[in-house]
Amino acid sequence: MSLSTLEAPELRDRGEERPPRRVAAGFFDPRQLVRSLPEALRKLDPRLMVRNPVMFVVEIGSVLTTVLAIRHPSLFAWLITAWLWLTVVFANLAEAVAEGRGKAQAATLRKTRQNTYARRITADGTEERIPASQLAVGDVVVCEAGDVIPGDGDVIEGVASVDESAITGESAPVIRESGGDRSAVTGGTKVLSDRIVVRITAKPGESFLDRMIALVEGADRQKTPNEIALNILLASLTIIFLLAVVTLQPLAVYSGSPQPVVVLVALLVCLIPTTIGALLSAIGIAGMDRLVQRNVLALSGRAVEAAGDVHTLLLDKTGTITLGDRHAVKFIPVDGVDERRLADAAQLSSLADETPEGRSVVVLAKREYGLRTREKGVVLGAHFVPFSAQTRMSGVDMHDGRRIRKGAAAAVMKWVRENGGHPSDAVGPLVDAISASGGTPLVVAEQVPGEPARALGVVHLKDVVKAGIRERFAELRRMGIKTVMITGDNPLTARAIAQEAGVDDFLAEATPEDKMALIKREQADGKLVAMTGDGTNDAPALAQADVGVAMNTGTSAAKEAGNMVDLDSNPTKLIEIVEIGKQLLITRGALTTFSIANDVAKYFAIIPAMFAGLYPGLDALNVMRLATPRSAILSAVIFNALIIVALIPLALRGVRYRPVSADALLRRNLLVYGLGGLVAPFVGIKLIDLFVSLIPGIG
């Protein structure tokens, strides 16, 4: 055993993990505005604009003021017209920038696609070489070292190391093998070693890579229910303000102060919720983009939104809450044996144990007792007994006649009796206590020449809970999310791990039917449920869950059943997905609050400007003391356009999420974005008015 093989478990014992890859989520480059401008101009097509009712009304208003400015030209009319068109362009720019980031990722993915050939196995067992585009579902192909896998499929024979960096960005190869939950392979990845036989499961053009490209481009992005509902609300507000402005002109005529149509259009555009209407689509696209930045592919916007409203998280124990391997955490000697002597014997007997448990025993002895790492070849004249499932023991026979065994309590105590010894009365209670706590006991025994065998003590193995996971669950609890650990362990072990990890509940000895029943119970209470899975037996539950995150290393059935795929196959990422979903909803709510509060200040700018001459008392509402009616109206229109551009980075990055209660979140939202939406226009419009008032004919 080499030293390098000992370092990995040692790191895992400490709960340390590889640092995550740095991602560009939230990064905004101002040059993106320039690059996205042509696309923003193309989106001026009314057939595209009609999908956004608020901005469609602004575009119609821009056309109308353009016609009026041509028929009755004036500097004021042309400036209003120009800024109304800029308002529409800026709204399209927000969406184009968000889509542009996705298209850049899609272009990178396209480069990974190659015109590959497949070695298809025919009915008579021979091989034929055909283009990958001619493969059909059910075809069987052979892939060897150096071959690019021609299509999505499942390994039905063999095991191989596969480079998936083209898909996941992770340079470390992964193992794909038949007959397990790591049998799925993705077209475009490369076999690095050995030989596998793959059954194709996707049609050409419908592979996982093709779906990724379409999704990150945003071409197939459908509006979510929440987004549709908000669009309806914004359209309703637009209609209400449209009716109000239309009815305003007859009243103005009756009062003897008819208003120019250009001014009425400016009033309408400033009063309707243009800010959130312009940014709504960008917020949704950016939410999916943030997931892609973290190597999670959301197969629908609905899934991202649902993640933000999740009430219950179902988390697999192994690999999610715990490190996945049982590690040695303590040496417990018996009958006066020195603890260091027990550690030394346990380390020697574990040198031939290649299991993670055996390696962790070696590491614990080295770390806690300073025992140097000894490789099998260094222990001269020794005969090593490797661990096997049949004997359930490992050990070593030293050159001086000393014999050491380590393994399951029943197996080692039987070895003690066979070699003239008698089981110690102290071993049984220790074994029972460790088992009751959810751990695994390993007994270490020794036989010295001329003496009967005797037990030296017990090694406590424990399924180690990941560092920081308890704090993460506490955060989720503050968010009002219930965490449930799912495990195949017995209830005793499950309870011990659940208490240590800090989960709210657990499901022990779980079967696929048990998982489904739990999800349905939660949903029957009106709760949204999220879960992770990678096996075919997880597919029903993934399909039933509101947010089903399938591991990319899992089976095709699991990936088809889920509505998200984690390309890194890291089950703990479910917690991040929930946070990103909540961030999307919080961002949407914050900017909606800001947009509606924004409109209040515009009343104080435009209404006094329109009627203060007729009704001098309205001048009291001119709290900003704007220079002239024209400068007030133009300043409000300019601010209305510029605020969209100013908020694009926030829409793409998202409002920072903190795990607080709904009440605290609402208070913060109203304080920061409600109050900010009230104050910002007063300051912004006043500053703009100082410059606009200098324009001849306006000021």
Binding-site annotation: residue ranges for ATP: 353, 357, 387-394, 406
Contacts of 673 (CB under 8 A, 6+ apart): 590, 591, 593, 594, 597
Contacts of 97 (CB under 8 A, 6+ apart): 32, 33, 36, 282, 648, 652
Q: Determine whether 504 is an active site residue.
A: no
Q: Kindly state the tokens that stand for 237.
A: 């507000």
Q: Kindly state the tokens that stand for 676.
A: 């900010």
Binding residues for Mg(2+): 534, 538
Cβ–Cβ < 8 Å for 344, 373:
no
630 phi and psi, to 5 degrees?
-65, -40
Q: Which of 316, 463, 489, 566 is catalytic?
A: 316
**Quick one: CA torsion of 385, 387, 393, 394, rounded to 10 degrees?**
40
Classify the phi-psi angles of 348: left when phi > 0, otherwise alpha if psi is within -120 to 50, otherwise beta: alpha
How far are the Cα atoms of 489, 498, 540, 644, 686 from residue 13, in angstroms, in the given order? 21, 19, 34, 50, 61
Cβ–Cβ < 8 Å for 344, 396:
no
115 phi and psi, to 5 degrees?
-80, 85
Instruction: Look at residues 182, 188, 174 and name the one whose alpha carbon lies nearest to residue 143.
Output: 188
Cβ–Cβ < 8 Å for 84, 58:
yes
Binding residues: 353, 357, 387-394, 406, 534, 538
**Cα separation, 577 vs 198, whole angstroms:** 31
**Cα separation, 499 vs 483, whole angstroms:** 12
How far are the Cα atoms of 205, 331, 437, 466, 506 from residue 461, in angstroms, in the given order? 49, 9, 11, 15, 21
| The dihedral sign for the CA sequence 471, 472, 477, 483 | negative
**Cα separation, 300 vs 226, whole angstroms:** 13
| The dihedral sign for the CA sequence 599, 604, 606, 610 | positive
**Cα separation, 209 vs 187, whole angstroms:** 7
**Cα separation, 365 vs 650, whole angstroms:** 52
**Cα separation, 532 vs 535, whole angstroms:** 10
Q: Kindly state the tokens that stand for 670.
A: 């109203």
Q: Kindly state the tokens that stand for 300.
A: 């629908």
End-to-end CA distance of the chain: 85
Cβ–Cβ < 8 Å for 366, 375:
no
What is the total residue count of the chain?
699
Please write down the long-range contacts of 379-382, taking CB distance under 8 Å and 24 or more positions apart: 379/348, 379/351
Helix residue spans in 447-572 (DSSP H): 469-478, 491-501, 512-524, 539-544, 556-561
**Cα separation, 281 vs 632, whole angstroms:** 30
**Active-site positions?**
316
